[in-house]
Chains A and B, each alone.
Chain A
């Protein structure tokens, strides 16, 4: 921002991986979805996963958080042996729409609260509410804390979902098509937010269907085709044609 740096410092990519996926395999019934995916995401890195429908992008994320069970390979998250190490946001956002924005964000912390401190929203510790307010402030929605979540626009709801993920205190943030349901303006805001969170040191992996957004915001583009990674590199390293080929050649099956 306003740091008077004399020499440009490259962003420290390829630092220690926080999320590392090795040889991930997944088969649904007879169909092989992932055929040995290796992917590492470092702290401070925003990785965009690109690929046609059915290429296995979302399945990678689901295997990381346990929404799908991998058939082989390993997923490890540094410093998260017991606590859930990854938070996730979705295209469909998945907030509890009848609850307030603040209560939704507080719910991100449920995993570390005893039932006595979490049986109702009134039992949430004061410290948690204040932490949630700080999370809301990071996504720019502190002034909407007491609104019903369902009253917010799609883009705002997605930012609340990101605040909820932050409240989970996970070192890894996964985003499954976070902007596919949003208008261009809201999509841009959400991508800028993900970029900022990565700069703050979170390892971010986002499945995207918008190569241009991915190019502008991500540190690295990873292309998946038929369950395999076909390219991985910085936006400068990956040619437009390579990205386009994901959606035209081969196809999903």
Chain B
């Protein structure tokens, strides 16, 4: 064999005219109407929210005064930093307890509210309705309710997160259960398997990585919302932020906000890392 390669004869490049795309006047008119409607909705929203750039410009000095008071942040160890770290721990603990304790309720609702595992239409609809309710009521409303029941403090925050997170996580989990391929379910239904058996032996084993990924994502979100719950008295770093604002101690507030920033980034990076490892 000689090492020379034969050069392939150059192929003539053929071209064909592109046929004109069929014009759809109805489509164009529809698009125009859609654009008009969208513009109209935004004009209404602008008015409804008193959106005013002028007000922002006028109020700018207030913000600069505020920032001037806040900088430099108060880094007093015993007075500010140490209580702040402790409160960060409480915030993290609220998010953790709220997320973990909503696993059983979410799982039951998700199994009952996913088509492949729920053959009983009544159970399915009830589960869906319960999910929608807990999802629709914001966690801060739950927190206000529980503060009146169990008093100010982190426990009310945990209860609030359990309630709201159950609604959301059950919904997310049931959706991933509905996305699995139905073939293995058919195969075992032929073998006489019941819906609970299908849940245990086909659906759950197939979606475990997705469920854990969503769980970590919710933990991430719940830690952040437990901050907001602190503002209404559920303890943690949010409570300290609220307190420092009402005492006009903006330099302390800035310290707490920086701590929150670090906390949120750490939780975000950690849960993102675990989720990526799971996806592999």
Interface residues of A (CB under 8 A from B): 65-67, 83-84, 86-90, 92-99, 103, 107-113, 115, 118-121, 161, 164-165, 168
Would you call B183 and A90 a contact (CB within 8 A)?
yes
**Stretch of B9-17, B199-207, B214-222 lying at the A interface:** B199-207
Q: Are A119 and B192 in contact (CB under 8 A)?
A: no
What does DSSP make chain B's interface, helix, strand, loop or mixed? helix
Docked-complex contact A110 and B190, CB < 8 angstroms: no
Q: A96-B205, A119-B200 are in contact. Are A84 and B192 (CB under 8 A)?
A: yes
Q: Chain B interface: which size bin?
A: 10 to 19
Q: 10 closest Cβ contacts across the A-B interface?
A: A111-B192, A94-B183, A110-B193, A94-B187, A84-B192, A65-B190, A94-B184, A168-B191, A110-B197, A111-B191
B208 in contact with A115 (CB, 8 Å): no
How many residue pairs bridge A and B at CB < 8 Å?
A: 73
Shortest Cβ distance from residue A128 to the other chain B in the assembled complex, whole angstroms = 13
CB<8 Å pairs between A and B, sample of 23: A67-B190, A87-B190, A88-B190, A92-B183, A94-B184, A94-B186, A94-B187, A95-B184, A98-B205, A98-B206, A98-B208, A107-B188, A107-B202, A110-B192, A110-B194, A110-B201, A112-B192, A113-B197, A118-B200, A118-B201, A119-B196, A119-B200, A120-B200
Contact between chains at A115 and B194 (CB < 8 Å):
yes
Decide if A115 touches B197 in the complex (CB within 8 Å): yes
A95-B187 Cα distance, complex, nearest whole Å: 8
Question: Chain B: which residue is nearest A168 at the CB level?
Answer: B191
Do B188 and A110 touch (CB < 8 A)? yes
Shortest distance from the beta carbon of A173 to any chain B beta carbon, whole Å: 11
A121 engages B197 (CB within 8 Å): no
Shortest distance between the CB of B162 and any CB in chain A (Å): 25
In the complex, chain B residues whose CB is within 8 Å of the CB of A165: 191
Docked Cα-Cα span, A94 to B191, in Å, equals 13
- Assembled-state Cα–Cα distance A205/B181 (Å): 25
